[in-house]
């Protein structure tokens, strides 16, 4: 286990028990970090997630905040609250995301705005808000959570894929501009991960899920949230000091066939 002792980290979209953000927050806490969990979920969900993080013997301070990242100013308010509580921010993980699975031609402007606001505007403005803090500290890590659908297409995912592809460009642009400040910016693109929606789909249509796995995943199984968290943990440490502007696609070979 890599160490994040003394590091102060912010993870968005961290309330869902089986979610990637929740798992990242727990992995950070296990590695000794102080963690601020941000989400639009309920206070009960975040209480439970924070309690799990605090249960790790090496965990630092664990705080959380309820934030609607879809509204203007929401991302900046989140960073301000985390900084007020911790006094520094070493790592920002922009994980929060939503989908709107519709056929192209059926999207409403409201759906477009909602997905763009959470998946793209939120990491953009959260990153802008944290950069002055990281500059004053001599550096930091910003990690965007993308998707394999930034690289390939799939039915009813045009809008989601659009935002994730734009997030990868943002990763490269930020890396180009911020490297001189020792702010390393990278992204992780998960493939099909066994979060609650896919668990539910496995339960209701096991044969269909098996066919889809056989068709799209050379490794023959879904990924686990912990397998994404392990890569994010690596990016949050001091080890990858020469890794800048890259997207690590953790997808079981989904985009390679």
Which residues touch 136 (CB under 8 Å, ≥6 apart)? none
0.85 exceeded by pTM: yes
Provide the token pair at 205.
Answer: 């249509």
- The pLDDT of residue 18 is 86
Q: Which domains does the chain show, CATH number per domain?
A: 8-193+224-256 (3.40.50.720)
The residue to which tokens 């930020």 are assigned: 174
- The pLDDT of residue 1 is 67
Q: Which of 240, 91, 233, 94 is nearest to 166 (CA)?
A: 94
The answer to whether the CB of 65 falls within 8 A of the CB of 82 is: yes
Q: Which of 36, 56, 64, 160 is catalytic?
A: 160
- Can you give the pLDDT of all 257 residues of the chain as single tens digits? 689 999 999 999 999 888 999 999 999 999 999 999 999 988 999 999 999 999 999 999 999 999 999 999 999 999 999 999 999 999 999 999 999 999 999 999 999 999 999 999 999 999 999 999 999 999 999 999 999 999 999 999 999 999 999 999 999 999 999 999 999 999 999 999 999 888 888 899 999 999 989 999 999 999 999 999 999 999 999 999 999 999 999 999 999 87
- Establish whether 160 is a catalytic residue: yes
Pairwise CA distance, residues 52 & 29, whole Å: 9
């Amino acid at each position: 286990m890599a160490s994040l002792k003394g590091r102060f980290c912010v993870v968005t979209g961290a309330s869902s028990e089986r979610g990637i953000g929740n798992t990242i927050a727990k992995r950070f806490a296990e590695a000794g970090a102080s963690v601020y969990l941000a989400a639009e979920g309920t206070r009960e969900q975040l209480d439970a997630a924070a309690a799990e993080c605090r249960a790790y013997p090496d965990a630092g301070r664990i705080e959380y905040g309820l934030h609607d990242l879809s509204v203007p100013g929401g991302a900046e308010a989140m960073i301000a609250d985390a900084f007020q509580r911790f006094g520094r921010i070493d790592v920002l993980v922009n994980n929060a995301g939503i989908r709107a699975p519709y056929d192209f031609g059926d999207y409403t402007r409201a759906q477009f705005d909602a997905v763009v606001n959470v998946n793209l505007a939120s990491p953009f403005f959260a990153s802008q808000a944290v950069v002055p803090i990281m500059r004053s500290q001599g550096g930091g890590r910003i990690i965007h959570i993308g998707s394999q659908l930034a690289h390939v297409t799939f039915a009813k995912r045009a809008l989601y894929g659009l935002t994730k592809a734009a997030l990868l460009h943002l990763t490269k642009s930020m890396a180009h501009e911020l490297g001189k400040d020792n702010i390393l910016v990278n992204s992780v693109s998960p493939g099909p991960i066994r979060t609650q929606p896919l668990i539910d789909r496995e339960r209701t249509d096991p044969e269909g899920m098996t066919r889809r796995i056989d068709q799209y995943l050379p490794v023959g199984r879904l990924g686990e949230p912990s397998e994404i968290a392990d890569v994010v943990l690596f990016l949050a440490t001091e080890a990858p000091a020469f890794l800048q502007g890259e997207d690590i696609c953790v997808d079981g070979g989904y985009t390679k066939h």
